[in-house]
Amino acid sequence: MNHKYTLVIDIGNTHIVLGVYEESELIQTWRVKTDDQKTADEYYSLFKSLKESIPQQIAQFHNCILASVVPELTRIFSHMISKYWLGKLIVVNAESPLGLTFLVPEPSFIGADLLVNAFIAKEKYLTHCIICDFGTATTIQLVGKDGTFYGTVIAPGVMTSASTLFSKAALLSSIELEKPRKTIGTSTKDALLSGIVTGHALMVDGLIRKIRQEFSSLGEIKAIATGGISSLICQECKEIDLIDKTLTLEGLYRISCRLNSAE
- Looking at residue 59, its pLDDT comes to 55
Matching CATH number, 125-244, of 3.30.1340.10, 3.30.70.360, 3.30.420.40, 3.40.50.300:
3.30.420.40
- Looking at residue 48, its pLDDT comes to 80
- Is residue 82 within 8 A of residue 24, CB to CB? The reply is no
Q: What is the pLDDT along the chain (263 residues), one digit of tens a residue?
A: 456 889 999 999 999 999 999 889 999 899 999 999 999 999 988 888 876 666 555 556 778 999 999 999 999 999 998 888 766 899 999 999 999 999 988 898 899 999 999 999 999 999 999 999 999 999 999 999 999 999 999 999 998 888 888 887 765 677 888 999 999 999 888 898 999 999 999 999 999 999 999 999 999 999 999 998 999 999 999 999 999 999 999 999 999 999 988 66
Cα 191 to its chain centre, rounded Å, is 29
Output the CA torsion 144→149→154→158 (10° steps).
50
- Looking at residue 137, its pLDDT comes to 94
- Is residue 203 within 8 A of residue 154, CB to CB? The reply is no
Which segments of 58-126 are extended strands (E)?
A: 63-68, 88-91, 101-102
- Looking at residue 55, its pLDDT comes to 59
Domain regions of the chain by residue span = 5-91, 125-244
Pick from 27, 26, 18, 23: which is nearest to 50 by CA? 18
- Looking at residue 1, its pLDDT comes to 45
Which residues are known to be catalytic?
A: 113
By CB neighbour count within 10 A (0-12 exposed, 13-18 middle, 19+ buried), where does 256 fall?
A: buried
Cα 136 to its chain centre, rounded Å, is 10
Residue 142 CA to residue 211 CA, distance in Å, equals 8
Produce one character per residue of 140-170: b if its CB has 16 or more CB atoms within 10 Å, e if not. bbbbbbeebbbebbeeebbbbbbeeeeeeee
- Looking at residue 171, its pLDDT comes to 57
For domain 5-91, give the CATH superfamily: ATPase, nucleotide binding domain (3.30.420.40)
Predicted TM-score (pTM) of the model is 0.92
3-class DSSP assignment, residue 153: strand
- Is residue 136 within 8 A of residue 13, CB to CB? The reply is yes
Residue 19 CA to residue 136 CA, distance in Å, equals 20
5-91 matches 125-244 in fold? yes
